[in-house]
A = this chain, B = another copy of it.
Amino acid sequence: MYMRTSNFLICTQKETPADAEVISHQLMLRAGLIRKLAAGLYTWLPLGLRVLRKVEAIVREEMDRAGAQEISMPVVQPAELWEESGRWEEYGPELLRIKDRHDRDFCLGPTHEEVVTELVRNEIKSYKQLPLNLYQIQTKVRDEIRPRFGIMRSREFLMKDAYSFHETPASLADTYDVMHGAYSAIFTRLGLDFRPVIADTGSIGGSSSHEFHVLAGSGEDDIAFSDGSGYAANVEMAEALPHSDTRAAASDDMAEVATPGVHTIDELANSLAIPAETTVKTLLVKADDDTGSPVALVLRGDHQLNEIKAEKLAGIASPLAMVEEDAARATCGAGFGSLGPVGLAIPVIVDRSAAVLADFVCGANKDGFHLTGVNWERDLPLPRIEDLRNVVQGDPSPDGNGNLQIKRGIEVGHIFQLGTKYSEAMQANVLNENGKNVPMFMGCYGIGVSRIVAAAIEQNHDDNGITWPTAMAPFQLAIVPLNMHKSEAVAACAEELYADCVAAGIDVLMDDRNERPGVKFADMELMGIPHRIVIGDRTLADDKLEYKGRSDDEATLLPREGILAALQERMAS
């Protein structure tokens, strides 16, 4: 759509707003995409809404293409349904609960599993009507305790939420794959560097889940992904492999060294002038028996325990519980900082990477002493080996292809196989082929539509402002006439080019404001318009116009003749 700045509300600001912590929030305020109404509540200005609508349109097109059907459910939801699913009690204060004028309980929907399940259990009676995938693009409300980062973590946000219904887990898995593909298509079309990552299913329940993350330094999550394949997972979820399957032969003798005042791995490595990766640390956690007796977990000194992995292991209490120092001393003969696996009479589990160490250093189970030159199967038996740690940069990829990179990601999408959690609780059944009433299998699929706008800026900006991917830019082209109100030649050329762009269907913004060139340039760069053409008397005298791509270092002079085709070529590339 075409527009003149004289008819378009431009609300750019020079100063970085004081209370905006992250760059996307700063730039969304400065470029005039949004304005704050109250904590976590934002108005989308015309410029911002254009971007949001572009994202929304791509999401809708790909959902439709994937066979999902759009519906629109109410924002206000009756408490009764949440009581049926059990979430009226379970859900925290993020659920904004309200009472209507008749004192009946309702909530503002942060998500719509209950409502859609109520709809489908009433409308769908037979397996023949399945599978069914329903979605909506809707304002959601979540009463964040501390809204922050602008629209990234706001109380009102635009969400695409989809819910699929199936007779069988296999059908659910099929649709799940289709949604995985649709999400990949969406983020690819948006022009974002993203990763679908294997995710923990967390509190929502269910059996399989992927998050879609836009990679950006300011992300809240650590994502591990292979440099040699499509593998990606949340750091907590990624399987940690050792760099080698085999252990070097022992070359040193085991020896006890005094390490007075040494309590941490850093202190140990410094004190002995050795790399931390040649040490191991020993952590004591409680077993899952009645007494919570200690189990020793042994990891390489530079690695971090992954609590999610540990508490899933047989024999270990879940949630994970650390043993107190008194109990550790009673069991091992030393306090934290001097524990080690040698000679322990309790169950020991060793991480895969620690299990392939030779000549390693560990606590001596004697305060102020460590052992050096320790070797498995010589100085102590090789214990049970498990995956106990978080992956680190450079680890082998679990799929065997390439090595892991770790970057920060912003979650913008999430797909879940819910199974029958909601359909069983709410008796959402269908008759199957055998005439038997069975609960439907469900999947749910969310995209944070407004969040994508912020994530895109986190990934695409420079010192001058936003550098939108083409598909998200509010306008493709800015026409910036200089001294338009004084120079007839400039005005005529600008109007002619603008009319040509309008006729060609280009998303063009004509900056016909009576402002200084510097103000116009700064605004167009801040707003991130990918292509800019400047029209001034100086270059017009040579029948030239000045072109600059948003990320170009320098402007280029283009002949006035054939300028539209030249611009179209640049916009298509």
Contacts and interface: CB of A to CB of B under 8 A. Distances in A.
A450 to B, nearest CB: 9
A141 B67 CA distance: 31
Interface residues of A, number: 50
Contacts of A156: 74-76
Contact of A71 (B43, B71, B73, B76): B43
A9 B145 contact: no
A138 B138 CA distance: 10
Contacts of A73: 37, 43-44
A72 interface: yes
A123 interface: yes
A37 B118 contact: yes
B71 A7 contact: no
Given A46-B70, A75-B141, A122-B35, A96 B98 contact: yes
A103 B45 CA distance: 29
Interface string A87-123: 0000001101010110000101000000100110011
A72 B49 contact: yes
A52 interface: yes
A438 to B, nearest CB: 20
A184 interface: no
A92 to B, nearest CB: 9
Contacts of A323: none
A78 interface: yes
Interface in A262-299: none
B123 A35 contact: yes
A320 interface: no
Contact of A49 (B70, B123, B143): B70
A139 interface: yes
Task: Report how many copies the assembly holds.
Answer: 2
Nearest to A94: B101
Nearest to A46: B69
B41 A76 contact: yes
Contact of A101 (B7, B101, B143): B143
Contacts of A72: 43-44, 49, 52
Nearest to A100: B143
Interface in A1-45: 1, 7-9, 11, 35, 37-38, 41-45
Best-buried of A64, A106, A138 by chain B (most CB within 10 Å): A106
Interface in A315-356: none
Nearest to A74: B41
A43 B119 contact: yes
A155 interface: yes
Contacts of A41: 74, 76-78
Contacts of A138: 139
A175 to B, nearest CB: 13
A134 interface: yes
Contacts of A119: 35, 37, 43
A112 to B, nearest CB: 9
A567 interface: no
A132 interface: yes
Nearest to A97: B98
Contacts of A96: 98, 100-101
Contacts of A71: 9, 43-46, 49
A76 B141 CA distance: 9
Sort A-B residue pairs by CB-CB distance and give the 10 closest, nearest first.
A44-B72, A41-B74, A38-B78, A93-B101, A46-B69, A98-B98, A43-B73, A101-B143, A74-B156, A11-B123
Interface of A: 1, 7-9, 11, 35, 37-38, 41-46, 49, 52, 64, 67, 69-78, 93-94, 96, 98, 100-101, 106, 108, 115, 118-119, 122-123, 132, 134, 138-139, 141, 143, 145, 155-156
7 contacts: A37-B74, A41-B76, A46-B134, A52-B72, A76-B141, A96-B98, A96-B101
